[in-house]
């Protein structure tokens, strides 16, 4: 049972790697049901079948990722929020794109197992990052 911040960060890496590998079953084993996601496309709630449909859509693929600036906050024993920056390379509509995002995942421990319940992602821009340096 993962208990340390390092273990929770490893779960986050495992989820991302499952997307690169096209291993939807591994991702589902790490995902709460229902789960929420907030992105530039809006807010959505989905069950495991809905996640499988998104993950296996042939029009989109995650090719590579690199997580950095990772932090963990634990508001309670069974809740952990992991925040980080991610450089990700995707293909969509036969076009490759590399973007830098600021992400967070809220993990909840149910019956001794950590599951991702909420994931958020926001595109990063240079201006806000420069303003925040030194704070």
Q: What residue segments make up the domains of the chain, in order of their start?
A: 5-132
Average pLDDT, the chain: 91
CA atoms within 13 A on the CB side of 51: 27
Secondary-structure class of domain 5-132 per CATH: alpha beta
Q: Is the pLDDT of residue 59 over 50?
A: yes
- pLDDT of res. 108: 98
Q: Is the pLDDT of residue 61 over 50?
A: yes
- pLDDT of res. 132: 41
- pLDDT of res. 126: 65
- pLDDT of res. 50: 97
- pLDDT of res. 125: 85
For 90-108, how does the pLDDT look when each residue is reduced to its tens digit (9 = 90+)? 998 889 999 999 999 999 9
Closest CA to 114 of 4, 20, 8, 6: 8
Average pLDDT over residues 28-57: 96
- pLDDT of res. 94: 84
Confidence of residue 112 (pLDDT cuts 50, 70, 90): very high
């Amino acid at each position: 049972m993962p208990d340390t911040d390092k273990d929770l960060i490893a779960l986050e890496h495992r989820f991302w790697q499952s997307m690169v590998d096209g291993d939807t079953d591994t991702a589902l084993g790490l995902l709460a049901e229902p789960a929420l996601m907030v992105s530039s496309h809006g807010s959505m709630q989905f069950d495991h079948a809905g996640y499988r449909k998104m993950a296996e859509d042939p029009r989109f693929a995650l090719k590579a990722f690199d997580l950095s600036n990772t932090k963990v906050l634990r508001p309670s024993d069974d809740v952990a929020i992991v925040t980080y920056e991610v450089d990700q390379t995707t293909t969509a509509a036969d076009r490759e794109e590399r973007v830098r995002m600021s992400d967070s995942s809220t993990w909840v421990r149910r019956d001794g197992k950590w599951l991702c319940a909420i994931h958020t992602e926001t595109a990063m821009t240079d201006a806000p990052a420069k303003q925040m340096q030194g704070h």
